[in-house]
Structure 1
Amino acid sequence: MATTTDDGSRTTFLREVRSAVTPHASLLVLGVLGLMIAFITSYTGAFHHPRPTDVPLGVVAPPPAARKVVTQLDRLPGSPLAPRALRSERVARQQLADRAIDGALLVDPRGTTDRLLVASGGGASLSQAVELVVRAAEKAQGRTVRTVDVSPAAAGDSRSLSSFYLVVGWCVGGYLCAAILAISAGARPSNGHRAVIRLAALALYAIAAGLAGAIVVGPVLDALPGTFAGLWGLGALVVFAVGATTLACQALLGIIGIGLAILLIVILGNPSAGGAYPYPLLPPFWRAIGPALPPGAGTWAARSLAYFDGAALTGPLLVLAAWAVGGTLLTLLLSVFLKKDRPADRPPEDERPPA
């Protein structure tokens, strides 16, 4: 009858543990833990205390009164507003339409009731924050204010969040598609030809994904107004930009590149995108990085297409194009470099015969 010593049992158990959880897997699990902590920190840090800071506000009033009102609003505690005097209501409405300002106070020199122009299509939470600040400031001066929404969100987009969720969906589709392409036959592109094929497949997917998203928020749900073709093109660009960036991360770091893509797009990009809380309501760090990341650029562009006739699109489109072109070039260059750097007698991982 065979017996097993306690020492032998412990040795067998430790061997099983090492077999079940390899050092490589342990490192990946620690990486996942780090991403989880970063996720909690980023979202909580961005959203736990939203408050307006330096919100661009136009002031229309006779010259002496305009200077006085601008000075009063500029000196409010916490600097919630960045007021500027404007010549006329027409100029104020034009700057709202151009997304140069987020509100305009029209002072009535003959009465005590002023008008506040806002554009909730650019973010309902921001319009409400501006209204609260201006109402409190006006009340302190013995005046009242009547709010006029010159670019309201659509009936199916009451909080102006549809554009944000649309872009988030496009971003998720972009990095998941790229991750599947990159790991389906080896963690790293093994040659330039394979990288080109994957980028071409990603481009076709991006066109289909952009079309699908535009159909869902347009004809199907009637959630966003604006040009269908414009949203389709924007979606294709967002998906390809995120996907190409993910492929570049994969080419650089292998499977760990997926974590880097998640860090850039999900953990840093989504809370700083200006979706639930537009940029002037976010803390400084998230307000600074948001416009430079694909979710933020995409959300701004989607709202511009839906509610502002495509105003202020150049900057966000250049940001998305930079991510798309940069990701494409890095993917190709790293694929060629890694092929040359690999020993001649060592075939790519996915081309090795099974053991």
Structure 2
Amino acid sequence: MLNATPGAGVRGAPSPGALVLVIGVLFIQLGFLLSYIGAFHHPDPQGIPVAAAAPRQAAEKLDRLPGHPLEVTAVKDEKEARRRIAERDDEGAYVMNPRGKQDTLLVASAAGGPQAQALRRVGEKAAVGQGRQLKVEDVTPTGDQDYESLTAFYLIVGWLVGGYLMASLLGVTLGTRPARPGAGALRLSGVALYSVLSGLGGAIIVDPVLHALPGHFVALWWTGALIVFGTAAFTMALQAFFGIVGIGLAVVIFVVLGNPSAGGAFQKHLVPSFWRAIGDWIPTGAGTTAVRNIVYFSGNALATPMVVLAAWAVGGALLLLVGSLRRRERGPALPI
């Protein structure tokens, strides 16, 4: 009698189920390439919010630049322009000097180095077109150990990876679907403890160890804990409904779609409209924005990203508990 390993057909050939998984992996790989290259292959400023302390006619010219790189809001003076940048209403400001030929462009590289550079190029071109000179001032620079404000993005990626790997480990070792809601709640409790430790570890690395994002240890710790818990809970929920395929779906959401749209390497006003539209609503983008706002912008404009992160955490937990009410998986009984 021929013996075959589980999941294999005659003479060890892959089963239809295994072939489906292989095809799924191929599509995820191709989706990864399409998403990253599609987002990053041609960064182009589109509608960057900018304040203009300038006469109305000059502000309108900035708003009507070819290709619409800027979305201009007229303000009364430089003080208001600086306030709008600090409160995250605008990404920069053009301040026209009414008594001279040299204007000032205010940028905030802490919100993303590539965006600040794009604003500088657009501002210099606009000034030359009007026969004026331009001085650039970085009103919110990054820290000495935070090149191009990339640390926030990589910190979030590290936390997210920990979250969905933890959930994947539980799914592979204990079964993708908890046997009952109580077992699901027990998994969530374990993940919560892991999330607190993961958030703590990330905060230690970027603050006292590397000094990349110093001075906000506690805020970063608990932000990280929320991100890890939300990612893990939602990944477990996907597994409860879709089995092992749920791990692949988590990778699609958090990595394939989340990373290019997060505003890490290129900020959202530099990438095509699809990635710009989804970035703020995926934990990768919401987390990156939250960390930058905590560290560099005095905690301004935190409400939206924190609500998004909390929604993923609460939604994932509730969906996991709902999924645990469904029919049990076949196989040996497991304690959790």
Specify the TM-score bucket, using the shorter chain as the normaliser: over 0.9
State the one-letter code of the partner of 2:333. Answer: E
Matched residues in 1 for 2:250 and 2:201: separation? 23
Match of 1:15 in 2: 10
Deviation, 1:226, is: 4.1
Match of 2:232 in 1: 243
Is residue 183 of structure 2 the alignment partner of residue 194 of structure 1? yes
Q: TM-score, normalised by structure 2?
A: 0.95
- Written as runs of structure 1 = structure 2, the 5 A alignment for 1:263-282 is 263-282=252-271
- Written as runs of structure 1 = structure 2, the 5 A alignment for 1:93-242 is 93-242=82-231
The one of 22, 34, 38 equivalent to 1:45 is 38
The one of 296, 300, 319 equivalent to 1:330 is 319
Matched residues in 2 for 1:136 and 1:181: separation? 55
Match of 1:311 in 2: 300
Matched residues in 1 for 2:27 and 2:180: separation? 31
Deviations 1:175-226 (A, max 9, x none): 0001111221223222212211111111000000000001101110011134
Q: SS where residue 104 of structure 2 aligns?
A: strand
Give the conservation status (yes or no) of the 8 Å contact 1:226–1:309.
no
- For this pair of structures, how many residues does the alignment match? 326
Unaligned ranges ≥5, structure 1 = 1-13, 343-347
Match of 1:284 in 2: 273
Aligned-CA RMSD value: 1.3
Give the conservation status (yes or no) of the 8 Å contact 2:167–2:236.
yes
Deviations 1:122-163 (A, max 9, x none): 101101100100100101111111111111000001211000
Unaligned ranges ≥5, structure 2 = 1-8
Give the conservation status (yes or no) of the 8 Å contact 1:56–1:84.
yes
Quick check: 249-258 or 219-228, which moved more? 219-228
Matched residues in 2 for 1:197 and 1:184: separation? 15
Matched residues in 2 for 1:73 and 1:92: separation? 15
Matched residues in 2 for 1:293 and 1:231: separation? 18
State the one-letter code of the partner of 1:107. Answer: M
Matched residues in 1 for 2:215 and 2:266: separation? 22
Matched residues in 2 for 1:323 and 1:183: separation? 22
When Rg is computed on C-alpha atoms for both structures, the one with the higher figure is 1
Aligned sequence identity (%): 48
Deviations 1:250-291 (A, max 9, x none): 000010100111111010011100111111111000000000
Deviation, 1:88, is: 1.6
Match of 2:5 in 1: none
Match of 1:75 in 2: 64
Q: TM-score, normalised by structure 1?
A: 0.90
Q: SS where residue 108 of structure 1 aligns?
A: coil
Match of 2:331 in 1: 349
Matched residues in 1 for 2:332 and 2:257: separation? 32
State the one-letter code of the partner of 1:42. Answer: S
Deviation, 1:349, is: 1.9
Deviations 1:81-103 (A, max 9, x none): 01111112111111110111011
Match of 1:253 in 2: 242
Matched residues in 2 for 1:351 and 1:115: separation? 69
Give the conservation status (yes or no) of the 8 Å contact 2:170–2:176.
no
The one of 50, 55, 73 equivalent to 1:57 is 50
Give the conservation status (yes or no) of the 8 Å contact 1:186–1:350.
no
Deviation, 1:230, is: 0.5
State the one-letter code of the partner of 1:270. Answer: N
Q: SS where residue 337 of structure 1 aligns?
A: coil
Matched residues in 1 for 2:268 and 2:327: separation? 40
State the one-letter code of the partner of 1:16. Answer: R
State the one-letter code of the partner of 2:10. Answer: R
State the one-letter code of the partner of 2:48. Answer: V
State the one-letter code of the partner of 1:30. Answer: I
Deviation, 1:303, is: 0.3
Deviation, 1:15, is: 3.0
Matched residues in 2 for 1:118 and 1:15: separation? 65
